[in-house]
A and B are shown apart, each in its own frame.
Chain A
Amino acid sequence: MSDIRTIRFTLNGTKVSKVVEAHETVVDVLTRKFDLSGTRESCRQGLCGCCTIYVDSNPVSSCLMLAWFLDGTDVRTIEGLADGDTLDPVQEAFIEAGAFQCGFCTSGFIMMVKHLLSENPDPSDEEIRHRLAGNLCRCSAYPEIMDAVKIAAAKARSVAKARP
Chain B
Amino acid sequence: MEVAGLRGFDIVEPSSLEEAFGLLGTGDPAVRPMGGGTALMLMMKSELFKPTRLVSLRKLGEPFHGLGESADGKWVRIGALNTFSMLDHSPLMKSHFPIISRTMNTLANLRVRNVASVGGNLAHGDPHLDLPPVWMALDGEVRIVGPSGERVSAVADLYKGYYETTLEEGELITELRVPVKPDWKSSYTKVTTRAAHDWPAIGLAISVQLSGRQIQDLRIVLSAALDKPTRLTAAETVLRGRDIGEALLREAADAATEEVELETDNRGSQEYKTHLLRIYVTRALQDLVSEAAPK
Contact = CB atoms under 8 A, between A and B. Distances in A.
Interface of A: 1-3, 22-23, 25, 41, 44-47, 49, 52, 58-61, 64-66, 68-69, 112, 115, 130-131, 133-135
A22 B11 contact: yes
Contact of A22 (B10, B45, B85): B10
Interface stretch (B94-102, B110-118, B138-146): B110-118
B38 A22 contact: no
B1 interface: yes
Given A25-B6, A58-B85, A131-B110, A66 B38 contact: no
B228 interface: no
The 8 A-B pairs at the shortest CB distance, nearest first, are namely A134-B109, A23-B6, A58-B114, A1-B10, A61-B111, A64-B41, A22-B11, A3-B10
Given A23-B7, A61-B111, 5 more contacts: A22-B54, A23-B9, A45-B42, A59-B110, A131-B110
Contacts of A3: 8-11
A1 B53 contact: yes
A2 B112 CA distance: 27
Interface residues of B, number: 28
Residue of B12, B41, B85 with most chain A CB atoms under a 10 A cut-off: B41
B58 interface: yes
Contacts of A59: 110-111, 114
Given A44-B1, A64-B38, A69-B56, A49 B9 contact: no
Contacts of A60: 111, 114-115
A2 B9 CA distance: 8
A104 to B, nearest CB: 15
A41 B6 CA distance: 16
Q: Which of A64, A65, A66 has the most CB of B within 10 A?
A: A64
A161 B1 CA distance: 46
Nearest to B2: A23
Given A44-B45, A46-B42, A133 B197 contact: yes
A2 B6 contact: no
Nearest to A56: B114
10 contacts: A23-B7, A25-B6, A46-B38, A46-B112, A52-B111, A64-B37, A64-B115, A68-B11, A69-B58, A133-B196
